[in-house]
Amino acid sequence: MFKALIGRLKQGHRTMEFPSAGIKLPPRFLGMPGISHAACKGGCAKCAGVCPTGAITLLAEKPVLDLGRCVFCGKCAELCPAVFKFTGEYRLAARERKELFRCDEAVKRTRTLDSEMKRIFGRSLKLRQVSAGGCGACEADCNVLQTLTYDLGRFGIQFAASPRHADGLLITGPVTQNMKLALLKTYDATPAPKIVIAAGACAISGGIYSGHPETAGIPEEIPVDLYLPGCPPHPLTILDGILRLLGRIE
Amino acid sequence: MNGPKLLNHLESTGFETLTALDPGMFYRVASERLRAGGRAVSYFGLPEEGGTRLILILGFDSERRLEALSVSVTDSFHSLTPEFPQLHLFEREISEQNCLEAKGHPWLKPVRYPLKSGSPVSPGTADFFKVHGSETHEVAVGPVHAGVIEPGHFRFQCHGELVFHLEIALGYQNRGIERRLIGGPDKLTIHYMETLAGDTTIGHATAYCRAVETLSDTEIPPRADILRGIMLELERLANHTGDLGALAGDVAYLPTASFCGRLRGDFLNMTALICGNRFGRNMIVPGGTAFDIDPALAKELKLRLDAAFKDVKNAAGLLWSTSSVMERFEGTGLVSKETALALGLVGPAARASGVRLDTRHNFPVGAYKLKAVLPADAPESGDVYARAYMRWLEIKRSYELINEFLYSLPGGPVSIEPGAMRPERFVVSLNEGWRGEICHVAVTNAEGGFRHYKVKDPSFNNWQGLAMALRGGQISDFPLCNKSFNLSYCGHDL
C-alpha cells in the first residue's frame, strides 16, 4: 500500500492538456500534407506512380491527394519535395468523404453535428469499437486514448462493452468479408440515433487492402459521420476529430 | 538424396537443391527428425505443376541448425499431427490453402475461412468440440469482444465455472496478404509486411528485408544492423510494458495499469522520434533503414529511455510486492514444459514454461551477432506469473541492449541500394519479435520475383498454448490468461 502511494508520487501527473498550443509532435512525424500546384509543372504523373495506395490522382494534370487512402509513407514528398510537403498538423478529421481530397487550398476544420444530435451526444458519448480486419494498430491507438495521458473519459467519451449501451460505432479495418456480418449485426444492435466513425485508411477506403476480394469495405447501410485519416491515425487525430464532431472544440 | 537438406539461416539456396523425397521416405525422415528434437519452424505447400510441393523447415535450436525436407503430393498427404501435435495448425493450413486432404488429421477444420468463390463459409461455423453431461454448458464469445480488441471467436466447454476445454476460431481478420505477395515485390510489399501485425511492424519488416537482401546478395551497412536492433528492442519494450499494465488491469490493480499505459506510449513516442511513426512504419527498408540517429537524437533518446525505464521498474516492482496481484498471477493458466514443447510454443510464452528458445540467441543476425542474448533466467513455472515476470526480465534486457547499441553505433551510411533478387532460390529468415519467433520463407521464380512467400507469426504457434492454459481453470481466468499471451489475431489471419 505504501509502496503504491510512493509509486504514485514518483510517477507524477501525466495527463496532457487538450486542446493545447503546447502539443509538440516529433519533427519526423508526417501530418497533413500541403500540395503546391504552383510548383508542379504538371502532367508527369510520377507522384501517382510512386504512391502505394493510389491516393494520388491527377485533376487537370495537377495532383489531388486523397487523405482517405494516404498511408503517410512520404514517398511523394521524397520524389517531389517542392510540391508535396507533409506538415506536423495532426488535425485531419473530416465529416464527408469528399472533404478528404486535398488540392492546393487551405485546410478546413471538421464541422460539428447538427444541434439536435449535439444536444444528445455533446456531453456524453459511448462508442462501441468494431475491429474489422486491418493490422490492430488503429485499435492500439484507440486504446491509448483511455490511458491517463489522454484520459478520454474526462471529455465524457468512453468505449462501451456492448453495442446496446453505445451511442455509435468506431470502425477500424477494411471490413473483411469474414467480419461484414458481425459488423452489420453490431450496427443493428446499437440503438438510434447513432453515429459512425471510420478510423484509419483501411476503414475509409480499404487502405493498402483496397481491391482485395477478401475485403468488403463499410457496407452502404452504415452511413459514416466522421472520417479519421491515418495509418494508423495519431491518437491526437482521433481525439481532435471526435471533440470537433461533438462541438467541444471550435 | 535420402535425408534432410541442411540449411543455414539467411543463406540464399538454389531451389533445385531441395529435392523432393519419395513420400514414404519423407514421412519417415520427418518423423525421425521431429523425434530427434526438431521444431517445425515452417511447413507449407508450394503450388507446382501437377500438384503441390510440401516444404517442412525444422529448427534444431540448441545446435543452431536448420533442416529442410520436401515432398511432392497431388490430392492428399499423410498427417503427422497424431504423433507431433506441433504440426496440427500447419497441416490444417496446408490443407486449406492447397485443397489437399490431410489424411489422419484428428481435427481437420479451416484455419482462416478464406473467401472461396461460390461457397463462402463463415468463420466460427465449423464443428467445435462438445462436452456432454449433466450441468455441462457451452459459452460462446466473439467475434466482437467487450474491449477495444481484434475479432476472434472463443468457445468454452464448461461445468459451472470450470473450463474443460477452450477452442479458438479465428479468420475474421483474413485480408489476403500472402496471396497478394506472390509475383512481388512491388510498391505495396513493404506496407503489407509492416501491417502483417501492426504492433510487430519492425519485427516483420526486418524479417522481410533480410530475406530480400539475402536473395539479392546485398550486404547492408553495419550501422543499419545496429539501428534495426534498437528499433526491435524499442518495439519489445513498448509491447511488454503495455502487457504488464494490461495484466495489472485485469486483476484490478490500477496503479500499475495506469502507469504502464502511459509508459507504453512513451516508448512508442521514442520510436516516433526516430522515424516519425509510433509503430515504426517507414523505418525498415530493403538495404538498411530509412532514418538515422544522429548524436543529438541519441542523447535525447538516452534521456527519455532512462526516465521511462526508471518508471517501468517502479511500476512493475509494485506487481511482485502486492499479494493480491500475486495471488491471481501464481498458479493461473498453467502450461507445462512438456505441453509447450509438444505444441511448439515460441517466444516469452515458451520461455516462461522453461523452453529456452530465443531466435536472437539461437540464430543471431545483425546487431545480435555482436551482443549475444541469452534467454533470461525466469521462474519457468508456466503460469501467468512466469509469463508476466518474463516480460519484466526482457524489458530489463532490452533496455540494456538499446544502451549498448546506442553506445556502439558504427559510422557510415544507413542503407545501400539492394540489387535484383536471384532467380529460382529460396531463403529462411527468422527474427525474434516481441511475441517470439517470426519466420518468413521466400522462394523466387525464374524472373527473380516472389514465386511464393510464407509468413509465420509467433501467434500461429501460440494460440493453442492459450487454449491449453485455460484447461482446468475458470472462465473468469480467461481475460488474465489471454493478456499473459497477448497474441495477434491479424498476424495469425494474414
pLDDT in tens, B5-64: 888 898 999 999 998 899 999 999 999 999 999 999 999 999 999 899 999 999 998 888
pLDDT of residue B378 exceeding 80? no
The mean pLDDT value for B216-221 works out to 95
Task: Say what the pLDDT of residue B1 is.
Answer: 58
Torsion angles phi and psi, residue B198, rounded to 5: -60, -30
How is domain A115-245 classified at the architecture level of CATH?
Answer: 3-Layer(aba) Sandwich (3.40)
Instruction: Give the pairing type, strands A56-59 and A62-66.
Output: antiparallel
Q: Would you call B281 and A231 a contact, using CB atoms and an 8 Å cutoff? A: yes
pLDDT in tens, B266-284: 999 999 999 999 999 999 9
- Nearest residue in chain A measured CA to CA from B171: A178
How close, in Å, is residue B315 to chain A by CA atoms? 7
Q: Would you call B173 and A181 a contact, using CB atoms and an 8 Å cutoff? A: no
- Tell me, yes or no, if the pTM score tops 0.90: yes
Task: Provide CB contacts within 8 A for A170, sequence distance 6+.
Answer: A127, A128, A129, A130, A142, A159, A197, A199
The ipTM, to two decimals, is: 0.94
Task: Say what the pLDDT of residue B334 is.
Answer: 94
Q: Does A53 touch chain B (CB under 8 A)?
A: yes
How close, in Å, is residue A21 to chain B by CA atoms? 19
Residues of chain A predicted below pLDDT 50: none
Q: Does B114 touch chain A (CB under 8 A)?
A: yes
**Among B181, B202, B277, B293, which would you mutate to test the A interface (most chain A Cβ atoms within 10 Å of its Cβ)?**
B277
Secondary structure (H, E, C), chain B: CCCCEEECCCCCEEHHHCCCECHHHHHHHHHHHHHCCCEEEEEEEEEECCEEEEEEEEEECCCCEEEEEEEEECCEEECCCCCCHHHHHHHHHHHHHHCCEEECCCCCCCCCCCCCCCCCCCCCCCCCCCCCCCCEEEEEECCCCCCCCCCCEEEEEEECCEEEEEEEECCCCCCCHHHHHCCCCCCCHHHHHHCCCHHHHHHHHHHHHHHHHHHCCCCCCHHHHHHHHHHHHHHHHHHHHHHHHHHHHHCCCHHHHHHHHHHHHHHHHHHHHHHCCCCCCCCEECCEECCCCCHHHHHHHHHHHHHHHHHHHHHHHHHHCCHHHHHHHCCCCCCCHHHHHHHCCCHHHHHHCCCCCCHHHHCCCCHHHHCCCCCCCCCCCCCHHHHHHHHHHHHHHHHHHHHHHHHCCCCCCCECCCCCCCCCEEEEEEEEECCEEEEEEEEECCCCCEEEEEEECHHHHHHHHHHHHHCCCEHHHHHHHHHHHCCCHHHHHC
Q: How far apart are CA B399 and CA B386, in angstroms?
A: 20
Confidence of residue B202 (pLDDT cuts 50, 70, 90): very high
pLDDT of residue B145 exceeding 90? no
How close, in Å, is residue A212 to chain B by CA atoms? 7
Question: For residue A136, which residues of chain B lie inside 8 Å, CB to CB?
Answer: 150, 197-199, 488-490
Q: Does A54 touch chain B (CB under 8 A)?
A: no
Q: Would you call A178 and B123 a contact, using CB atoms and an 8 Å cutoff? A: yes
- Nearest residue in chain A measured CA to CA from B191: A208
Q: Give, rounded to a whole angstrom, the gap between the first and last alpha carbons of chain A.
A: 43
Q: Is B382 left (phi over 0), alpha (psi -120 to 50) or beta?
A: left
How close, in Å, is residue A163 to chain B by CA atoms? 9
The mean pLDDT value for B103-129 works out to 79
Q: Does B116 touch chain A (CB under 8 A)?
A: no
Task: Say what the pLDDT of residue B116 is.
Answer: 63
Among B196, B314, B490, the residue with its CB nearest the CB of A11 is B314
Task: Say what the pLDDT of residue B118 is.
Answer: 46
The mean pLDDT value for B328-338 works out to 94
pLDDT of residue B119 exceeding 70? no
Domain boundaries, chain A: 115-245
